[in-house]
Amino acid sequence: MKLFSKISLQLIAFLLLSHNIAAQNIPVPMSPPRLVNDFANVFSETERQALENKLLTYNDTTSTQIYVVTVNDLDGYAVSDYAFRIGEKWEVGQKGKDNGAVILIKPKIGNSRGQTYISVGYGLEGSIPDGYAGRIIRNRMIPYFNDGDYFSGVNAAIDSMIKRLEGEFDPEMEKEEGIPLPTIIIFAIFFIIFITIISKRGDQNIDSDGSSKSGPVFFPPIMGGGRRGSFGSGGGFGGGGFGGGGGGRFGGGGAGGSW
């Protein structure tokens, strides 16, 4: 029993240490505080300042904080997890509003693929849902990133996010992209199964007097209801980011892409 307790304590200590080491891999914000943290140096000084001015103006007029972060290495994290952890550690967003967002870019270096992710706080998920964030990445960012033009891609993404947050309609970004093929296939399979079951029940449920009798028909659930699980950590984007921050929480909303 004592041996078991000792092993359990050692395991707990190891897990805590591993968590702390992993957390240390997430960089601290640049000093002095800024909204564009270009650790990968993909922007020129002029480009950095242009993005900073745009984001700072929007932050000052709306209190919504959009961070741009570039890194050369994700340190083993999935790009979505890395973006979330940056927001959590840096405490992006205003307390009580949860209105923070992180645009993360890991540029394409050598044979490694480039990756990007837009992570949004709870307060912005209604305005920038996952599907819209995905369209921003596919339509506004990656086409420029493929040409090595990170500034234009990020600038276009910021413009699209601000327009959406301000309620401005963008026909190209709002248009429906149709039902995904996997969803069509799933519905087709269940439809065929349903028709087959109904046909067999019709053949089997004929009484001796020629009348039909039928029982209840059960419909199998086709699609899950609700969003994917959140990233845990109730602390969320806490409070100490640029311009004050104060407590935005992130629940896993956002989308990513690679090139």
What are the sequence ranges of the domains in the chain? 20-174+237-258
- At 171 the three-state DSSP class reads helix
Which structure tokens are listed for 184?
A: 């069509």
Domain 20-174+237-258, what architecture? Roll (3.10)
What CA–CA distances, in Å, run from 195 to 190, 199, 201, 217?
9, 6, 10, 12
Task: Supply φ then ψ for residue 112, to 5 degrees.
Answer: -75, 145
Q: Which region, left, alpha or beta, applies to residue 41 given φ > 0 means left and ψ of -120 to 50 means alpha?
A: left
Mean pLDDT, the chain, rounded, equals 78
Neighbouring CB atoms inside 10 A of 89's CB total 19
Which residue, 28, 30, 29, 34, is CA-closest to 242?
34
Which residue, 133, 35, 140, is CA-closest to 93?
35
Which residue, 114, 113, 119, is CA-closest to 136?
119
pLDDT tens readout for residues 32-61: 999 999 999 999 999 999 999 999 999 999
How far is residue 157's CA from residue 147's CA, in Å, rounded to a whole number?
16
Residue 69 pLDDT grade (very low, low, confident, very high; cuts 50, 70, 90)? very high
How far is residue 44's CA from residue 134's CA, in Å, rounded to a whole number?
26
How many Å from the N-terminal Cα to the C-terminal Cα in the chain? Answer: 53
Residue 24 has pLDDT above 80, yes or no: no
Which residue, 68, 194, 58, is CA-closest to 119?
68
How buried is 151 (Cβ within 10 angstroms: 0-12 exposed, 13-18 middle, 19+ buried)?
middle
Residue 164 has pLDDT above 90, yes or no: yes
- pLDDT, mean of residues 169-190: 65
Which residues have C-beta within 8 Å of that of residue 166, sequence separation ≥ 6?
Answer: none
Residue 9 has pLDDT above 90, yes or no: no
Which structure tokens are listed for 1?
A: 């029993």
Residue 123 has pLDDT above 90, yes or no: no
Of 103-107, 120-124, 149-153, 195-199, which gets the smallest average pLDDT?
Answer: 195-199
DSSP state of 45: H
Strand pairing class (115-120; 100-106): antiparallel
